[in-house]
Amino acid sequence: MFRSGDARRLLLGLVAYLVVLGWVAWPWIRVADRAVPASPLIAYPDDARLIVSQVRAGLRPRRPSDFFEAPIFHPAPAQALGSELFASSLPLAAPFLATTGNATLAASAAALLTYPLAAFAIDALLLALGCIPLAAWVAGLLFALGPLRVPGNLQVLQYPNFWLPIVALSLTALRARPTALRAALAALAVALGGLSSLYMAVMAATCTAAWFLFELVRGGPGRVRYVARGATVAFVAAIPVAGLAWNHARWVGSSAVRSPWMQAPEFVAGLGRAVAASAGPLFWVLALAGLASAASRRSPTRAWALAGAGILLLACLLMSGPRIFVGELSVPGPFSLLLASPLRFFRVPWRFVVLAGFGGSLLAAAALDGASRLLGPRAGAVASLVVAALAVGSTRIAPFGLDAIDGQVNPVYDEVARVARARGPGPLLELPIDKGRDALDGSESRVPVGDSMVGATRHGLPLVWGFTGYPPAHEPILRRMIGSLDRPGTLADVVDLTHVRWILLRPAGEWADPGRRERILRLPATEVVASRDGWDLLRVGMEPRRPEFFDAIAAGARAGFTPLGAPVDGPRELVAAVRVEASPRRVSPGGGFRLWLAIENLSKEAWPATDEAGAPAGVELVVERRPVGANGPMETFVLPLPRDLLPGETLRLPLDLQAPASPGSWRFSVFPHATNGARRRLRSETQAGEDEVEVTAGARAAEGARVAVEAGAGAPGASVAPGSAPTGRQPEVSASR
């Protein structure tokens, strides 16, 4: 397979790769401990920070089961499966994390090492296939700088392309001599490729099948033995990859976030072209030139040129998305098979451009090899060196600048670690979780959630929030709670769900509403224990009261149950007491006002507030508004419950409404309603045991007092939110109840 002197040539080639690629990547290398190249086309700020967090979590599990965990959305299980595991790529980062403790440096080093590894792997494959050495070396350089590799980004760890030529080389060696040892090595290569990332598991399997067929039809003796060994390789390699896929399907596969817009034909085609263009025109010109070698029957490079053309064609078909359009004709594409299988986590078809880069590199090698054979050794060498110079000279590893990771350098996270060691560990919530104020130049500023995740690699506390492609089922419920954290009672709910012990508040300038930050600072059962550079760290002294919610989240999503553990099809009977505890006596026409409601679950079963995915459903509150002493239309508002309501529990919550534009007296009635009315019997009771309850908003609700809407009146009484829109769905006007 290899010729005499190839080992020495490969070693020298690796040294050359390290020098050349190190020079190309130097702008990234010199800041690898605190920044990564900005890459708006193929990566977002939070993506890079997520990978830093995942690399840190994967390298320091306390027990084997922790390998699937990530310190986000505490206490939801298996959060690492929602993004990536990097199982066979973590050894690249391990030495750097062990010696420096810097997770950003470790992740950057692992990503940077994929460049020479990719070049070296395909260089070795091409030499084994008989390619001219210099042509093989230049093709390796093109492969290392191929699609999705430039601009530099940490997401190359999600597509470690060096496994593709390693898998192909192992199958080539097996075809040359189908021994048990080579079969074991091939199985190891395929398994490691599949375990390197969830995306690479699919691409490595695709490459394995394509290269196996290529070697099978290439000719030569021992086909039967090769097929038998190949079947063994597939079976053995599939065991760990199937285990990973099973765990993924078990924890997050059923709740995969659908992105129909990502699969729209126009979007898929446009983004596919954009990511393919990241390799540069030189790469694709050489790939097209290599097709001539595939067409010529007498070309010595025809075999691997055909393999490259086949892999490139397959990748292009997969990149086309679920449907392929030929003029006005539309037919299902191979990608639709993925979406209909447990592999549907591979949601974005353009990622197959990595597989296209492998096929294109094989074709480019065939073009350079053919030029050397046609023009002669010297002219061919000059042509190869010119191509290498053009590839290196046109590559900018950070053309969009460098993205500094604040979570790695901000001293506030060291302060959090110091205080947590002194006062005790516990889950942490960093706020805000969404965008901050608009920048002065009119652009929208943004709070990268990932910075808190990188900060967690330094203080070591679990986070109750985070960023992932597969958020847990309770995420919508928690998001709504965090959005109203400054309201009384909401912090107690967050404590019940997450056991949060620490709240870290970013500086006021990063809040869309700085006043909300001040209200959170004044929450009861909290104390400010540290302040630095505008940041404030609060310790939550409140203890959880409802262990059922925390336990349900920690157990993971269950079919037929809400994220907080209530059956989605219950209760069988809706029995409740609803009353207004506070309301203003007078409000201005069109002005906003707030009612404080108390809802008591008198049923023997929990009320579900959401469906299995955390979207509002189940039991909701219906608010009716009608004029007193007139036959005007009645307006109806729907208020979702913020969370499940346990049997015998009373929930107090505010209802923000807007007064009618015309003066007059109005009566407000509130009652619970089960959205699945066909399967439930609605019965409303007051604490006095009456058959029907009409909760009337007013100073004395039990006596049916009214809210007077008078021109120019103020809004005394309970707190008023001027101009606020009704909470929940928009009002519907109906003639009767």
User: Contact, 467 vs 46, CB < 8 A?
Assistant: yes
Do 356 and 502 lie in one domain? The reply is no
Q: Is 76 part of any domain? A: no
pLDDT at 440: 40
Report the CATH number at residue 689.
2.60.40.10
User: Contact, 139 vs 290, CB < 8 A?
Assistant: no
Do 436 and 353 lie in one domain? The reply is no
**Average pLDDT of the chain?**
83
Say how far apart CA 568 and CA 566 lie, in whole Å. 6
pLDDT tier at 442, thresholds 50, 70, 90? very low
Do 221 and 158 lie in one domain? The reply is yes
Do 416 and 373 lie in one domain? The reply is no
| Residues 353-377, mean pLDDT to the nearest whole number | 94
At a CB cut-off of 8 Å and minimum separation 6, what does 562 contact?
A: 552, 568, 608, 609, 610, 611, 612, 614, 618, 644
Q: Is 138 part of any domain? A: yes
pLDDT at 566: 94
User: Which domain, by its residues, includes 521?
Assistant: 411-547
Q: Is 73 part of any domain? A: no
pLDDT at 69: 75
Do 143 and 244 lie in one domain? The reply is yes
Q: Is 78 part of any domain? A: no
Do 355 and 218 lie in one domain? The reply is yes
Q: Is 58 part of any domain? A: no
Q: Is 519 part of any domain? A: yes
At a CB cut-off of 8 Å and minimum separation 6, what does 36 contact?
A: 28, 48, 104, 108, 152, 153, 154, 402, 403, 405
Residue 676: pLDDT over 70: no
Do 534 and 607 lie in one domain? The reply is no
pLDDT tier at 325, thresholds 50, 70, 90? confident
pTM of the model: 0.86
464-481: buried (b, 16+ CB within 10 Å) or exposed (e) per residue? bbbbbbbbbbbbbbbebb
CB-side neighbour CA atoms (13 Å) of 362: 28
- Select from 513, 547, 581 the last residue of a domain: 547
SS3 content of the chain, % helix, strand, coil (to 5): 50, 15, 35
Say how far apart CA 505 and CA 517 lie, in whole Å. 7
- Give the chain's domain count: 3
CA distances from 530 to 348, 457, 460, 617 (A): 43, 19, 17, 40
Three-state SS letters, 54-78: HHHHHHCCCCHHHHHCCCCCCCCCC
Say how far apart CA 92 and CA 567 lie, in whole Å. 45
| Residues 445-467, mean pLDDT to the nearest whole number | 88
Of 199, 209, 196, nearest to 240 (Cα)?
Answer: 196
- Select from 525, 547, 569 the last residue of a domain: 547
Do 321 and 416 lie in one domain? The reply is no
More confident residue, 211 or 2: 211
Do 378 and 478 lie in one domain? The reply is no
pLDDT at 63: 60
- Select from 514, 547, 580 the last residue of a domain: 547
pLDDT at 698: 36
Q: Is 709 part of any domain? A: yes
DSSP for residue 135? H
pLDDT at 711: 39
H helix and E strand count, the chain: 23, 18
pLDDT at 490: 93
Q: Is 327 part of any domain? A: yes
| 196-226 pLDDT, tens digit each | 888 898 999 999 999 999 998 887 788 889 9
DSSP for residue 718? S
Largest CA distance in the chain: 103
pLDDT tier at 524, thresholds 50, 70, 90? very high
Do 345 and 485 lie in one domain? The reply is no
Residue 732: pLDDT over 50: no
pLDDT tier at 340, thresholds 50, 70, 90? confident
pLDDT at 734: 30
Do 387 and 415 lie in one domain? The reply is no
Say how far apart CA 728 and CA 467 lie, in whole Å. 26
Do 539 and 587 lie in one domain? The reply is no
More confident residue, 439 or 435: 435
